[in-house]
Every structure is written in structure tokens, then in C-alpha cells.
Structure 1
Amino acid sequence: MLFKDKRVVFKQVKATKTGRVGKNMEIKKGYFEQQQALRNADIAREHEINQQSPFHYSPTSKTCPVIHGYPFVGVLPQLLFNPLRLFQRAVKEHLGEIVALKLGSIQAHLVTYPDHVQYILNDNWQNFGKGEAMWKPVRQVAGNNLLTSQGESWIRSRRLMQPMFTANQANALTELLVKIIASELANFEKTADGGAIDMENEMARLTQRVILRLLFSSSIDGSKVETLGEALKVILREISRRAFLSFLPKQFPVPGERTFRNAIQTTNDIIFTIIRARRQSDLNHGDLLERLLQARDEESKIGMNDQQLLNESITLFIAGYETTSTTLTWIWYLLDKYPEVEHKLRAEIDGVIGKRHPASADVAKLQYTKMVIQEAMRFYPPGWFFSRVVQTDDIIDGYALKAGTTVVLCPYLTHHLPKFWNQPEVFDPERFAPEYSGQRHSYSYFPFGGGPRYCIGKHLALLEMQLIIAMMLQKYRLRCVPGHPVESLARITLRPRYGLRMIVEPI
């Protein structure tokens, strides 16, 4: 009788566990279906749904061509000194293929064909994780966060953060953004008065201050903005350096470790002080930190602790600052190079806004402005490459990839494939007009990533850039300094190698 009772109890426990697992699986499935539905709705609204190309995965086995490089070190020297040229060479020699790059004792696999990109980011995304090596420096700074986490931890973070960054939620920040941008442009005007300036530095300073004010508003004074901004610049520089050094053996010494740690400590001290003060305040500041404080998990109803708030605040800065500043820098260069685009852009801004400050209702009408941004992010995607790591053995279009393999995706190269883009080396915002967008493959363009892990800050980034462009063109005409060399430098972002010297003319 005793054994019979034990068997009954065991069956009950097992049934309970099975039911709980099944419920959890249903929750996860429902969550991801919901996220995909939201993404599809966003894409449809923006006329960015692209038809699938007629593609069938190869039933036969294929061997990845290998770029060997030098004995022992492979292509590591090229990767460290000019990675974009290395990737361009690989694509030129092996168009449409997955290419293995020999990096000393290991290999990384370069993926550029849209169907292969789609498989990694969307179709079988769960088998392609963030990995450890390249994301280690980000985790040193911001721990486990939306950008770096995986599995259950990522699901919880995404569930908390997603509702705060829809298109409607981003537009609700328009008034605050306009106020911040107007204040910062007054400082820009003083700097630009009387000669040429480095627009890369100015856009970095502008967007850095905008994102910090958007995060912390009145909780951070001018001196703290400067201190925190300098610390975060050091952090971004060191993250960039360590991202490429992650391909080197672990025993390779990494310079600047003390500087990196000091910058992290300064950042933590300032942001923790702001968070603790804010928790004791009854005011609603209407900024991003306020949204993070109020966020609750829809299942547990639990919010973020101070460490999570710190991690996600830093993540929002890292993800939003350099991407935005680099894109804006390239836009000023491209507008000077293509005056007919600038003329049409100015006509739209004059017609929609005139000389007043933009309002939330104006944003949807700035369609050509948005198209200019989209084309600039095709031409010079700031996040020009990123990586994933194969979790279990997989096959992509006949190419076998073993677990632990690093795959490198390169939006820059995909965005310039002649098969998918007519005259890809020409800057043409009309590509993103609604009547043309539906003709593209979905993953021929992915400056914000794709699949369930696409960047949730997309709407906010586009809004910020639309407002900055409109408000600057209301007041200035920007011209490149004649003879100043302009070429791209591929680091963690794609930026001008020698800066961008420009003359600012008041209108």
C-alpha cells in the first residue's frame, strides 16, 4: 500500500511538473508569436514588408570556401587593421557563399546572402546565440541586459522593455526630445560660429547629451553630464577595441584595463546616485528612467532592482548614442555630395514645419526625411557587422556549421549586393518609397538587426534623427571643407577615418 501511495504521489508530481512546463512553453510560444506580430505590424505600417526571394535550400552538401591568410595567424592582421576590406575581398571572390575566415587556430564564417541572414536572425534564431567572447566587454560594463542576455533572462528583459519602445511610445517623447535638442543646438551654434568644425565630434557631443537628458532629464546637472559623457566615451572606445581582440588567444594582453575599470566605476557611481534619489522622489520626470522604474513584468508584476536599472540605462546609451551620431555624421556628408537630395529634404521640412519647432503630429509627415535616414543606414550602416554563435550543429543551405562556430553578419556588404540593390553605390532615398520597398527581400536590409531580437530602440532612434535633421536644416547649411579626405573606418561602428570637417552657414 505504501509503495502504491508513493507511485500515486510521483505521478501527481510528474503531472504537475509536466503541466507547469507545458504552461511555460505556451507562455514562451505566445510571447514570441506576440512579438513577431508586433514586428510584422510595425513593418507593414512603414511599408517595409519585402517579398521573399525565390530561394530553395540546397539538398546537397556544400563546403565553405576558406580565406587562409598567413601561416599560423591566418587573416587576423587584416581583421584587426582593415576588417571591411577583408570582408569585401571574401564576398568578391565567393559571392553568395558562406565563407570561412582562418583566424589562427579557429575559424569564423562570414554570412552576407539575405536568405542565409534570414535563417540566422529569424527562421532558426534560437540556435544562434550571442556567445561570450565578443560580448564580454559589454557584460563587464552592463552585466546581463537586453543586449547581451539569452534564454529565460532575455525573455524577461524583452517582456519588460518592449512596451516602452513601440512607435506610439517613442512619439510620446517628441516634446521632451524637441526641448532637449533645441537647448543643445544653442551650444552647437556657439561652437560652429566662425569657421570649420569636425561634424563627427559635434554629432557625438550632441547625441550624447540628448540621450543622457532623455534618460535622466532634470536628475542630472551639466557637470554630471560632462563627467558621465566622458566616462561613457572611454567605455565605448574600450568595448570597440576588445570586440576585435576577442578573436585573439585569451592570454593576449589587453591594454587600457585600468582606464576601462575607472570609467565603469565613475559611470556606476553617478547612475546609482540618480536611481536612488529618483526612487525617493514623488515627481514623474517623464523620461526614460521613469519608464524603466515603472516597468513591471506582465507575469510576476515585479519591476527592476537598482542593478537592473543601471544595466539597462547603460545599455540604452550604448545602443543609442554612437549609432545615432555616426548616422547623422554620414547624412551631412551625403547631403553635401547629393545637393538634389538636400533640396528635396529642405522643401519637405519647410512645407511641414516651417520655422517653428516640430510637434508630434509632424513626425509622420516627414516621410522623405525618414527615407534619407534609411538610405544613409543602407549606405553606411553604423552597426556594419555583428556576430552570432551556433548553439548546436546546423546546416544553412547545405553548409554544415558545428556548435561553437562564430558566424559574422555584415549589413554593409548585404546592403551593397548588386543582385538586391540597383546601383548600390548611389545614394538614393527614393529606394525606400512605399511603392519600391515591397520589392526587396526582407533581409537585404537590416540596420536594426532582425527576427525576435531586432533592436527595440529603432523607432526612438529614427524619431531622434528626424527631429535633429529637421531642426538643424531650419537654421543651417552645412558644407564639406574642400580637399578634406573622407573615407570610412570600420571599427565597432563605421565612421569617417579622418573626421568630417564642415563649414556651418547660418540661414
Structure 2
Amino acid sequence: MATLTTYATGAVLLVVLAYVFFHLATFLKGYIRIRVMLSKFPTDAPSFIFGHLFDYPGPDDAGLAYQRRHITKFPKTSIMWMMNMPMLLVSHPTTVSVILKSSEPKGPFTYDLIRPWIGDGLLTSKGEKWYRNRRLLTPAFHFEILKSYVEIKNRCADLLVEKFLKAAETASSFRVISNVTMHSLDVILRCSMSYETDCQLPGNKHPYVKAVNILSAIMVQRFFQPWFHNDLIFSLTPSGRSFFKQCKYVHHVAETIIQKRQSHLTQDKLDAPEDGRCLDFLDILIRAKDQDGVGLTFREMRDEVDTFLFEGHDTTSSAISWALYSIAGHPDVQRRLQKEIDSVLDNRDNSDVTWEDLSRLPYLTMVIKEAMRLHAPVPFIQRVLTVDTELDGKIAPAGTLVNCVIYNIHHNPAVWPDSLKFDPDRFLPENVEKRQPYSFVPFSAGPRNCIGQNFAMDEIKIILARILHKVTVRIDPDHKVEKLESVVMRAKNDIRLLVSER
């Protein structure tokens, strides 16, 4: 009996060893194949152990300068080795277009960090689920729906403009990012779920607002600490416990609102809600059905609401803040911009920007685009190749992590001469026509582009027009602005501007 047991144990061990050896051999074969194929792409000589890990100065102004030097040397593609992990960088319209025209899934190394918060919504989902939900959500961004949000955006703008006017009265330095972030959060909560938190009011302590602020702050910290990228390890730290606690609370709020809304909505045509409020994002999610008459599950609705909140909050506030910073540093641009805004908004009973006004501000649109080119609110996009893909005459193998570095594309000297100069005239129609497609991709491009880009542009136009119609902004010479590049382009210690009433 003992002999039989020994033989059985030996057989099990052999099977386990064979299984492990097979998968290890398969992994090594695939890894070697990737290394050999990627060796054809240009790169600086890497360290044997650390690769290019210590070549990169960090996610700050020095790191951005390093990136600009890198694309001068390798304008189309290059390989960066992060220890033993290769990353293919694409930084030119001709190469990034190949990636963005595809529906390749997002890279896990960045986007998995925010999955506990936003779940498997449009930003992170892939395959058939992404394709189906993208089609279901597209009606939520029809121009008739976007038109109805203009009133909400103006009411949110009232509060931020008032803060700028108070700063002008007191001649105090105005903290741009912190105040603009609360404005964008106010807009997105009202438009996505008709959820009002008074988050722009001084001293607001609404628990939902507090939770979102904590999540955003911890996300930045986690992004720069690779040893905390693993959820299990991260959950054992104080920051991790706080992060998952706030995720649970934010999910609870969204779920409660969805449940309440489901009990009041009928699953028929997209008519106005009976309570007189604006048709919001959640209304459309609940009523959406595919060709088989099947709608989104409760979890899918929650994930999309949380995704919309994340994507429409920090990214939009970054775009607005850096636009104000650029405008403040260029008085000639500001005067020309104010002249255009005044021609549209003067001699009215109020300063609201109407839906029709949005198309009457071409120079404002150029200024916003140039600010997004210069500062790239979303600095990079990661994808993973599922098939071998040709890039610049070389084959990138399936399984390759590709970094579409939007900041690099927007500063590539082969596309943008004198790329650090702020020049809105780059976006004059005749200049745009001369450039290659995919030269300017602040909202990504192709089938996986930002579904809410028109929503965001409307919000940015409205708030900038409202602010600059009332005040003039200047750079605070006593405050040094330093960039912090993470999932969103931020600034260390905020952006401070001086404000004067017009």
C-alpha cells in the first residue's frame, strides 16, 4: 500500500512539474520572441539589469525635457526597457495612427490601478463588451443631449466666476487647480447623475466630495510607487485601506442613486424626466438597449457612471487650468481673446454662454487646442497588441505594451516647430490642413477615442469665456509652476494667478 502511495505521489509530482515546465517554456519562448522582434526598433543602450529605468529623471519638468530630447533622437518609434519589461513608444502621427485606428485594449499596468474605482467601464473594458457598450452609450453624447447641459454648465460657472471676482477685490493670489477641480466635479455630478453636493462652496464637507478628493490624491501617489501597484500589497498599507474604503463609499452612492432612478424611470423613449430636470447621463444608461432588447446590467451602469466621473473630472480641470495659465502668460493672446468674447457676450441681460455662442468663438477654440497641445491633459495612452503589427517598417509582436505618448506627439519637432512656444495660430484652418492627421490627439483618436470630448470642449469654452469676460489674469511672479506628469497632467503646489476685474 505504501509503495502504491509513493508511486501515486511521484506521478502527481511529475504531472505538476511537467505542467509548470510547459508553461514556463511557453512563456520564455514568447518572451524571447518579443525581445528579438523588438530589438529591430531603435533605442539607447540599456543597462543589463535596470534597462532605462534610471535614465528617466522623473515625472516632472526634467522628465518632460528628457522626453523632448528623446523624440528629437527617435521621432517615430523607440524601445524603453523598464528593467526586463520592454515598452514600445510611438511619438509620430504615422506610427501612432496605426495604434489608434485599431481597437487594441488598454494596457494593464496603468489602467489596472484605477479599476477598483471605475470598474470595467469604457476606459478599461475590451473586446465585445467594449464594442457593445460603446454603441449603447453613444446616444448620451448626441448634440441634442449636450445642448441641454449648457444651462447646468453656466450655473456651475456662476460660482467659479464669483470666486475669481472676489480674488480681484482682495488682490490675492488665486489657486486655480483646486478651485477649477471643484467646478469640474460640480459639472460632472450634475450632468451625470443630477447629483448636487454644493462642492464649490467654501468649507464644503460633503462626504462624497471628500471621498473623490481622497481617491484622486491617492491615485497620484500610487502611480509613482510601483511597489504598490499590486492590489493585495497596496491594501495592506494605510493609503491602500483608505483608497478601497473610499471606493466602497463612492460605489455605494452611485448604486443608491441608480436604484432610486430605476424605480422612477420608464423604459421607453428618451423624453424629458417628469420631475422637470435635465435628461442626464444616468437616464440614458438605464434606458439603453442593444439590438436584442438587452440593456446594461446594474454593475455596468455603475462602472460607466464612475468612469464618466473620473474621465470628466480631473482631465477637464487640467485642461481648463493649463489654458488659464497659458493665457495669463500671454497678454496679447488674452486681449485678442477678450475682444472676441466681448463681441459675443456684451449688451446682454446676463453673461451666460448659449449653445449658439459655442460656434461663435473660433479664436477661443484655437487657444484651448494650443493649450492642450502644449500641456497635454492626458499625457499618454497605453495599449497592448493582440496581433503582430507593422510600425515604421518593423514588426511589433503580439503582447507588446505600446505607449502612445501624447505629450511627445504634441512636441515632436518633426511636426511642431518651436514646440514650447504658445501659438494659437497653429490651429488656423490653413495651418491645420498642412499637418498630418493624428498630429493633435488630446482626446485620443480612432474607435477608442474619448466619447465625451464634445462634452468636455463645451465645458471648457463656457467657463473660460465666462471668466475672461469678467476678469484679466496674470502670472503670479512669486509662485513657481512645476508640472507633475501622471495619468493626468498636474502641477506641483497648484497654479497661482493674479486676478483683476475688467
The letter of the residue matching 1:154 is W
Question: Is the counterpart of residue 283 in structure 1 residue 283 in structure 2?
Answer: no
Residue number among 75, 86, 89 corresponding to 1:110 in the alignment: 89
Structure 1 residue matching 2:81: 3-state secondary structure:
strand
Cα distance per residue 1:333-383 (max 9 Å; x no partner): 111211111111101111011153121111111111111111111111110
> Does the Cα contact within 8 Å between 2:43 and 2:79 map onto a contact in 1?
yes
CA apart distance, 1:274: 1.8
Partner of 1:100: 79
Partner of 1:272: 255
For the structure 1 residues 352 and 384, does the alpha-carbon distance in structure 2 shift closer, same or farther, using more than 3 Å as the test? same
CA apart distance, 1:318: 1.0
Matched ranges for 1:47-86 at <5 A: 63-77=40-54, 81-82=58-59, 83-86=63-66
Unaligned segments of structure 1, at least 5 residues: 1-59
Partner of 2:392: 397
Q: Distance in 1 between matches of 2:483 and 2:198?
A: 35
The letter of the residue matching 1:475 is K
**Structure 1 vs Structure 2: percent identity of aligned residues?**
28
CA apart distance, 1:403: 1.9
> Does the Cα contact within 8 Å between 1:375 and 1:429 map onto a contact in 2?
yes
Structure 1 residue matching 2:438: 3-state secondary structure:
helix
Structure 2 residue matching 1:489: 3-state secondary structure:
strand
For the structure 1 residues 186 and 275, does the alpha-carbon distance in structure 2 shift closer, same or farther, using more than 3 Å as the test? farther
Q: Distance in 1 between matches of 2:183 and 2:389?
A: 44
Structure 2 residue matching 1:462: 3-state secondary structure:
helix
Matched ranges for 1:5-404 at <5 A: 63-77=40-54, 81-82=58-59, 83-96=63-76, 98-122=77-101, 125-126=102-103, 128-186=104-162, 189-190=165-166, 193-194=169-170, 195-217=172-194, 226-243=206-223, 245=225, 253-254=233-234, 255=237, 256-281=239-264, 283=275, 285-354=277-346, 356=350, 357-404=352-399
The letter of the residue matching 1:213 is R
CA apart distance, 1:140: 1.5
Q: Distance in 2 between matches of 1:111 and 1:75?
A: 16
Partner of 1:43: none
The letter of the residue matching 2:241 is R
> Does the Cα contact within 8 Å between 1:180 and 1:213 map onto a contact in 2?
no
> Does the Cα contact within 8 Å between 1:135 and 1:243 map onto a contact in 2?
no
For the structure 1 residues 257 and 317, does the alpha-carbon distance in structure 2 shift closer, same or farther, using more than 3 Å as the test? same
The letter of the residue matching 1:158 is R
Q: Bigger shift: 376-385 or 486-495?
A: 486-495
Q: Bigger shift: 208-217 or 284-293?
A: 284-293
RMSD after superposition? 2.7
Q: Bigger shift: 266-275 or 223-232?
A: 223-232
Q: Distance in 2 between matches of 1:476 and 1:504?
A: 7
> TM-score scaled by structure 1?
0.80
For the structure 1 residues 298 and 73, does the alpha-carbon distance in structure 2 shift closer, same or farther, using more than 3 Å as the test? same
For the structure 1 residues 308 and 387, does the alpha-carbon distance in structure 2 shift closer, same or farther, using more than 3 Å as the test? same
Q: Distance in 2 between matches of 1:343 and 1:437?
A: 23
Matched ranges for 1:492-507 at <5 A: 492-507=487-502
CA apart distance, 1:317: 1.3
CA apart distance, 1:63: 1.6
Q: Distance in 2 between matches of 1:99 and 1:252?
A: 33
Structure 2 residue matching 1:129: 3-state secondary structure:
coil
For the structure 1 residues 352 and 317, does the alpha-carbon distance in structure 2 shift closer, same or farther, using more than 3 Å as the test? same
Structure 2 residue matching 1:203: 3-state secondary structure:
helix
> Does the Cα contact within 8 Å between 1:345 and 1:368 map onto a contact in 2?
yes
Structure 2 residue matching 1:109: 3-state secondary structure:
strand
Partner of 1:433: 428
Structure 2 residue matching 1:375: 3-state secondary structure:
helix
> Does the Cα contact within 8 Å between 1:390 and 1:407 map onto a contact in 2?
yes
Number of aligned residue pairs: 444
> Does the Cα contact within 8 Å between 1:62 and 1:400 map onto a contact in 2?
no
Structure 2 residue matching 1:66: 3-state secondary structure:
coil
